[in-house]
């Protein structure tokens, strides 16, 4: 079973962002598999960096789009993205100096945060978009 399964409820019907979210979940699953396989700490660190880079790329795309749509909760949404990136960067630093068990903690944080963010705040911009397009 995958670490995080794609769920129909994640769909926001904006194909670019659904693709991004699917890709993020795939990356999370691959990273988790690598962790379980016991790859070297340094290599896992590089995979984690790719995951964070992709999350950043996706957040930026969403933020530009929300701004273009005149989304009223843009600031709040951006703050959530910043919280995620800040927390993940802190955890990555701890991982570099700590042991590999911290990677498990980091991936669990990402999984929980991403699921609730997509189901909550991302679905909220979808509802706004559907109403106003
Ligand atoms: Fe978002």
Neighbours of 113 (CB within 10 A): 16
The pLDDT tens digits for 56-94 are: 999 999 999 999 999 999 999 999 999 999 999 999 999
**What is the arithmetic mean of pLDDT over 8-19?**
97
pLDDT-derived band at 111, boundaries 50, 70, 90 = very high
Count CA atoms within 13 Å of residue 64 on its CB side. Answer: 8
Question: And the tokens for 11?
Answer: 């769909």
pLDDT-derived band at 98, boundaries 50, 70, 90 = confident
Is pLDDT of 101 > 90?
A: no
| CA of residue 131 to ligand 1 center, whole Å | 18
Between CA 68 and CA 75, with CA 74 as vertex, the angle to 5 degrees is 135
Query: Which residue, among 21, 43, 20, has the nearest Cα to 31 in the 3D structure?
Result: 43
- Helices assigned H by DSSP within the chain: 15-37, 41-68, 74-97, 101-117, 123-132
| CA of residue 44 to ligand 1 center, whole Å | 25
| CA of residue 38 to ligand 1 center, whole Å | 31
Domain boundaries, the chain: 40-132
Q: What rounded mean pLDDT belongs to the chain?
A: 95
Q: Decide yes or no: CATH 1.20.120.50 for domain 40-132.
A: yes
| CA of residue 25 to ligand 1 center, whole Å | 14
C-alpha–C-alpha distance, residues 50 and 31, integer Å: 10
| CA of residue 17 to ligand 1 center, whole Å | 9
Query: Which residue, among 55, 78, 87, 83, has the nearest Cα to 125 in the 3D structure?
Result: 78
Neighbours of 99 (CB within 10 A): 9
| CA of residue 54 to ligand 1 center, whole Å | 13
**What is the arithmetic mean of pLDDT over 89-102?**
88
């Amino acid at each position: 079973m995958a670490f995080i399964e794609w769920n129909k409820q994640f769909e926001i019907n904006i194909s670019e962002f659904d693709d991004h979210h699917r890709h993020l979940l795939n990356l999370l699953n691959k990273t988790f598999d690598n962790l379980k396989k016991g790859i070297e700490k340094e290599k896992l660190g590089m995979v984690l960096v790719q995951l964070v880079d992709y999350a950043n790329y996706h957040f930026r795309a969403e933020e530009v789009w929300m701004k273009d749509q005149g989304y009223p909760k843009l600031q709040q949404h951006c703050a959530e993205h910043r919280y995620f990136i800040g927390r993940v960067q802190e955890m990555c630093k701890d991982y570099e100096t700590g042991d590999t068990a911290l990677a498990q903690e980091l991936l669990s944080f990402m999984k929980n945060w991403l699921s609730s963010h997509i189901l909550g705040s991302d679905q909220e911009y979808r509802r706004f978009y559907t109403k106003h397009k």
